[in-house]
Structure formats: C-alpha cells, structure tokens
Amino acid sequence: MVLHDFFFYILAAIILGGGILTITRRNAVHSAIFLVMTLIGVAGLFLHLQAEFLAAVQVFLYVGGITVLFLFVIMLVNLDEAAKQRQFNRQWGLALGCVLLLVAEVGYFLYQGRDSFSFAESSGVLLQNNTQAIAMSLYGDYLLPFEIASLLLLVAIIGAVVMAKKQI
Amino acid sequence: MPPVTPVHYLFLSMALFTIGVIGVLTRRNVIIILISIELIFNAVNINLVAFSSQFASISGQTFAIFVIVAAAAEAAVGLGIIIALFRNKETVNADEIDLMKW
Amino acid sequence: MAELLATIESYLQLPYVLPTLYIVIIIAVFPLIAGYIVLLERKVMADIQARLGPMRVGPHGLLQPLADAVKLLLKEDLIPAKADWLLFWLAPVISVVAALVAFSVVPFSDWFFITDTNIGLLFILSISSVGILGIILGGWSSNSSYPLLGALRSTAQMVSYEVALGFAIIGGLMVAGTLSMQEIVRAQQEQHVWFIFYQPLAFCIYAVAAMAETNRSPFDMPEAESEIVAGYHTEYSGFRFSLYFLAEYTNIVIVSSIAITLFLGGWLRPFPNVEWLDFLNYCPAVAMLAIAAMSFLGAVREKRWMEQVGMGGLGAVFALLGLLFLLPPVLTAVQGLFWFLLKVFLIVYGFIWIRFTFPRYRYDQLMKLGWHWLIPLAIANIIVTGIVMVLL
C-alpha cells in the first residue's frame, strides 16, 4: 500500500512540475514539451486509478493528436519575434483573485463533505473489463451525448478548415 | 504519509486547475494560453476519474472521454483561429489583438 | 544441483521476474536484429538491382552490421551551434523509447510476452503515436531548413495516416471482440480462421497506412533524399543518428507485429485446426537444418579459410539448433516463436521489396490517397462489418 501511495506522489510531482514549467517557458515548443510531461503524468494517474482505457486514450489523443497539432502550428507560425518580447501581461491581480476564489470554494466543499471521502472497496471490479464497461456506458446510457459529441467534432473539423484556409 | 484518499486527488486537480488559470490570465502568447486551457481540461479529468474510482461507477470515465473530445475540438478550432490571426495581424500576442476595440 | 534448480524455479514464480528477464532479452537482442534487418535490406536491394551488396566484412557480408555499429559509435557527435540542445538531445531518445516500449505487449508466442493487458492494441497505437514527437522535435530543434521541412511533412503525413490506420484496425477488432493481444490470437484459433480472410480490405488499408506511418518508401517524403537531403535527421550524426535508425526499424517490426497479431494469426501456424497438416509443426527444425545445409554448402564454395571456418561454424550452430528442436518439449516451446518470427521476416521482406519497386509519391498525391481513398474506404469497411455482424 505504501508503494501505491508513493506512485501517487511521484505522479503528482510530475504533473505539477510539468504544469508550472508549461506556463513559465519563454519558448512555445518548450511549453508544449512540458505539457506532454503533464499529460503523461495524468495518464499515469489514470492507470493508478484503474482507468486504463482512458489512460491509453489520453496518450493517443492528447500526446499523439492535440500536442502534435500544437507543435505543428507553432512551427507554421513564426514565434522568434514573440519569444523576445515580454511574456506576461499585467493581470497578476486578476489571476490571484481567481485562484483565491477557487481555493475558497474547494475549501468550503471539503469542509462540507469532510466525512464522505474514501475509495470504494470494490474498485477492483472496474479493472477486469474496463473497456467493455466504458463501451456499455458510452453506447447505452450516454448514446445521445455521444452523438452530440460526434456532431461537435464535425463542426470543429469544418470550422478549423474554414478558419485556416486562405480561400475557400 | 497518510494514505491517499480522493481528497489528495482533489487537491492535485485544484493545483493543476490553478496553474492553468494563471497561465490563461497572465501569458501574452495565444498558443500558450491554449496550452494552459489543456491543463485545465486535464485537471477536470483527474477529478472525474478520481470520483469514478471513489463511487466504483464508470460514468466519470465516460465523461472524461467527452471532455477529451471537447478538448480536441477546442484545440482544432483554436489553432485554426490562430493561423488565420497570424496571417492577418502578424502577431500572437493576446493584448495586441485589438481590432474590435476603439 | 536440484536445490539450485528449485531456487531458480521459485524465483521465476515471482510476478516481476519473468517479464523483467524478457525486457532485458528484447532490449539486448533487438538492436542486433535491427542491424541484420538493415543488412537484409541492403542485400535485397542489391539483389533487385542485380548487384551483390556488402560482401567484404565476414562471409557474404554477414558481419557488416557490427562494423556499421562500430562506425556509428565512433563518429564525432555533432550538435549544430544554433540548435536547441536540450530538445536535440531529447528527440531521438523519445523516438527510440517509444518504439521499444511498444514491444511490451507484443505476443511473440503463447509464453514469450512481457505482459498482456486488456488494452494491448490501443496501448501500442498510443505509444507509437508518441514517437511522432521525436520526429517533430528532432526536425525543429536542429534549427535548419531541411529538417524543419521534413518534420512538417512527417507530422502531416503521420497524423493523416494514423486515422486510416486506426479505422483499419477497428475492422479487425470488431471481429476479434477484444483489445488484448493474446486474446486476439486465441480468438483466431477459436474461430478457425485468420482475420485477414474476414477483413481483407482492412488488411490492405492497414498495410498502406503502416508504410506511411513508418515513413517507408513509397511514402518516405519526410526523409526523401532527392528532395530534402535526409529530412528530419539531416543534422544528426553518429550515435544519435543510429538511435533514429533503430527507432525506424523497430517501428517496422512493431507495425508488422500488429498486422500479424490482428490479421495473420499471431503465433499460430497456418491452418492450426487442420489435423492432417500437423507435419507443419516440424517446420522449425526443418528450417534450421535447411539453413545449416545452405551454410555448409556456402562454406565449401568459399575461397579463404577464414570464411570457410566462419560459414562452417554458422552451419554447425544452426544444425545443433535444428537437432535440439527435434526434441518434442523444445519443439512445442519454440513453435509459436518460430511462426511469429517467420511472419515478421516475411512482412519485413515485403516492406523492403516494395521500397525498391515503387517510385515515391508526390506530397499532394499522398494526402489525396489518405483522405480521399483510405479513410472513406476504412469507414465503409467498418459499417459493412457492423451490418454483417448484426445480420449473422
């Protein structure tokens, strides 16, 4: 059980370290690389929580798809100029306010529900056929949201093409 | 060390969300703002999966898949906008994009 | 002695020991195998072009991979002055690690596999999609025009063909009904048929997409030497270059392994359920003895005594292996491994054959092929498969 917890802390360190480096790097490619570090850490956390299908999807879509898209655009757009300029705008006050609000909100909820946090004993059941369980849930209970999500993707594809093309 | 409970996951998720919010609000580079939004999405996913594990219910993971779908759509459209923007304005700094302002 | 064996046996029972052993074996042996695939490629190329290929190092050039390895390791390690050194250092490592990690779920035989998870196939796909990062970063961090062009080409190509690849795999997956690599092979055993006969279209799409995904000719625009020098690894030399090379050949073996597992029966022999073909089980021993006979024949025809001894020694090793394989327990043990590796060899041979037979595509033709033909066909294949499965 100690090993189990140990992995959580390691992954948490990877995720948060990657996140902080992501938003502080001057070079956008470095940001994207540290984003990959965070994403892989999150995938590890999913494995830790016995959601292995989601972990694989996370790596496949985020690292293999979205990050690659980011890198592609970073290379297409000339960022040399932007990397030399001032990196942060003057909104520290606003950011701090948002963070404090968030911390207060989570603190309040934790205080309200302080007795109800523990992992279910039977979480091992999920491990056995995680993929089947997700499929059943996705194509059974959540069929309509699933269709809406596919529509969203279609709209996004068309939108991206319209945006990026010079002439249609 | 105390045993890891959903509260730990909640704190981790909150920290990641906070990092993402700070990135969105303080960076000037539009691409890094989009990247920070991905961090926020991931923070949400951590929560969903942790609660899915807590309640031994698969719905949380299904929702996480929807979140990933939304993230993919957002990245595609957002990057398309950035390319269109860069073609017209030659800049990726969020505070220089002020054509709609007087 | 018996005590020692018992201790070893008890250690092997521990959950992590065998997988660790297999990992060590694969990581230690695979670079050598990749070297010999390169040699095979050069030999087949020479054969297709009516030449001899490497002949100097060892008998028939059989030691050429070792010489190449020594050359690559001793070369000067250059980093371009304006390169982003951290990413320049990281990129080939990402490539090679992503490629090698994918081996962890490949089912080499019914006992020789590192692990078998219930997301096996998806795991391989996701890990190999991480490999794209190595190529992009390598191209970008070199801070040079041709690598950047190669990286951009390769990104667009791999992302496009990944879609077709995934859809083709889903076709086979629907028939198998599981993502676990071992279970896919067992499903083919139970259904008495290789899935290529259920899903011929999916296999064809997979084959084309896999060639594009591994940047092989006729889809090798990312490293087309007549257009952009060497593409994304133009600035790499010596050891780093050899890492890219290793990753490329590892990826070829990985995509062949997926094809074999999903469509070509994995570690099953041809027609595993037909009893009168049981004599095929002796193929491993016969193949080893045949190689031994050919080596001895070659030894007789060699002129220099060094090479005679070399070929003779090789023949003796293979003859011993063949005799060992005649023992029934050994034969059953190597059965699956032999068939799997034979299929990998045949597919790699096909890859090489295609490389030196077809001219390179133009970039717009490549994109058109992917988006206009492969992806719609793959989706149609999934729909038809679904309808047929519901109706039957």
Chain segment A39-67, per-residue pLDDT in tens: 999 998 888 888 888 888 888 888 888 88
Q: Minimum mean pLDDT among C224-238, C342-356, C376-390: which range?
A: C224-238
Are C90 and A33 in contact (CB < 8 Å)? yes
Identify whether the C-beta of residue C366 lies closer than 8 Å to the C-beta of residue C212.
yes
A166 DSSP assignment: S
Are A68 and C159 in contact (CB < 8 Å)? yes
Identify whether the C-beta of residue C267 lies closer than 8 Å to the C-beta of residue C107.
yes
Domain coverage including residue B77: 29-91
Please report the pLDDT score of residue C111 as a whole number.
78
Are B35 and A53 in contact (CB < 8 Å)? no
Task: Give mean pLDDT, residues C100-121.
Answer: 83
Are B19 and A28 in contact (CB < 8 Å)? no
Are B56 and A120 in contact (CB < 8 Å)? yes
Are C87 and A30 in contact (CB < 8 Å)? yes
Which residues on A lie below 8 Å from B74 (Cβ)? 156
Q: Minimum mean pLDDT among A144-153, B22-31, C203-212, C279-288: which range?
A: C279-288
List all chains that touch chain B, counting a touch as 3 or more CB pairs closer than 8 Å: A
**Does some domain include residue B102?**
no
Which residues on C lie below 8 Å from A76 (Cβ)? 152
Q: What is the per-residue pLDDT across C317-338, written as a single tens digit (0 to 9) for each?
A: 888 888 888 888 777 778 888 8
Task: Give mean pLDDT, residues B27-39.
Answer: 87
**Does the structure show a pLDDT above 60 at C45?**
yes
d(CA A110, nearest CA chain C) in Å = 35
**Does some domain include residue B22?**
no
Are A63 and C152 in contact (CB < 8 Å)? no
Are A60 and C126 in contact (CB < 8 Å)? yes
The chain C residue lying nearest A43, using CA atoms, is C126
Q: Which of C186, C131, C205 is nearest to C378 (CA)?
A: C205
User: Between residues C339 and C56, which one has the greater pLDDT?
Assistant: C339
Is chain A adjacent to chain C, meaning 3+ CB pairs within 8 angstroms?
yes
Please report the pLDDT score of residue C225 as a whole number.
67
Task: Give mean pLDDT, residues A140-161.
Answer: 89
Q: What is the per-residue pLDDT across A81-122, written as a single tens digit (0 to 9) for each?
A: 666 777 777 778 888 888 888 888 888 887 887 766 666 554
Please report the pLDDT score of residue C390 as a whole number.
87
Are A33 and C123 in contact (CB < 8 Å)? no
Which residues on A lie below 8 Å from B52 (Cβ)? 49, 51, 126
Q: Does A53 touch chain C (CB under 8 A)?
A: yes
- Within chain A, how many helices (H) and strands (E) appear? 9, 0
**Does some domain include residue C159?**
yes
User: Between residues A149 and A76, which one has the greater pLDDT?
Assistant: A149
Q: What is the CATH number of the domain that holds B44?
A: 1.10.287.3510
Please report the pLDDT score of residue A151 as a whole number.
92
CA separation, residue B87 to residues A164, B82, B84, B91, C300 (Å): 9, 8, 5, 9, 71
Identify whether the C-beta of residue B61 lies closer than 8 Å to the C-beta of residue A135.
no
**Does some domain include residue C129?**
yes
The span from the CA of B7 to the CA of C296, in Å, is 70
Please report the pLDDT score of residue C51 as a whole number.
86
The chain B residue lying nearest A13, using CA atoms, is B12
CA separation, residue A156 to residues A64, B63, B71, B92, C150 (Å): 18, 19, 11, 21, 27
Are B31 and A38 in contact (CB < 8 Å)? no
Please report the pLDDT score of residue B97 as a whole number.
75
Are A59 and C148 in contact (CB < 8 Å)? no
A79 DSSP assignment: -
Which residues on A lie below 8 Å from C371 (Cβ)? none
Are A119 and B53 in contact (CB < 8 Å)? yes
Task: Give mean pLDDT, residues C342-349.
Answer: 89
The chain A residue lying nearest C141, using CA atoms, is A29
**Does the structure show a pLDDT above 70 at C183?**
yes
d(CA A53, nearest CA chain C) in Å = 6
B14 → closest Cβ in A69, A102, A141: A102
Interface of B with A in 32-51 (CB under 8 A): 32, 34-36, 38-39, 42, 45-46, 49-50
The span from the CA of B78 to the CA of B98, in Å, is 17
The span from the CA of C318 to the CA of C325, in Å, is 10
The chain A residue lying nearest C139, using CA atoms, is A75
The span from the CA of C227 to the CA of C147, in Å, is 11
Q: Taken in order C257, C259, C261, C262, is the CA torsion positive or negative? A: positive
**Does some domain include residue C21?**
no
Please report the pLDDT score of residue C158 as a whole number.
84
**Does the structure show a pLDDT above 60 at A29?**
yes
Please report the pLDDT score of residue B102 as a whole number.
62
For A91-161, strand residue ranges (E) read: none
- What are the tokens at A54? 């989601």
d(CA A99, nearest CA chain B) in Å = 6
Are A31 and B32 in contact (CB < 8 Å)? yes
The span from the CA of A99 to the CA of B22, in Å, is 8
Domain coverage including residue C368: 75-267+360-391
d(CA C289, nearest CA chain A) in Å = 44
Interface test with B, best of A7, A66, A127, A132 (most B CBs within 10 A): A66
**Does some domain include residue C219?**
yes
The span from the CA of C254 to the CA of C165, in Å, is 13
A and B: number of Cβ contacts within 8 A: 242
Interface of A with C in 59-88 (CB under 8 A): 59-60, 63-65, 67-69, 71-72, 75-76
Are C155 and A129 in contact (CB < 8 Å)? no
**Does the structure show a pLDDT above 80 at C251?**
yes
Say how many domains are in chain B: 1
Are A64 and C129 in contact (CB < 8 Å)? yes
- What are the tokens at A93? 């006050």
**Does some domain include residue B61?**
yes
Percent of chain C beyond pLDDT 90?
1
Say how many domains are in chain C: 1
Are B83 and A61 in contact (CB < 8 Å)? no
Which residues on B lie below 8 Å from A29 (Cβ)? none
Which residues on C lie below 8 Å from A60 (Cβ)? 122, 125-126, 129
CA separation, residue C45 to residues C38, C325, C347, C359 (Å): 10, 32, 15, 14
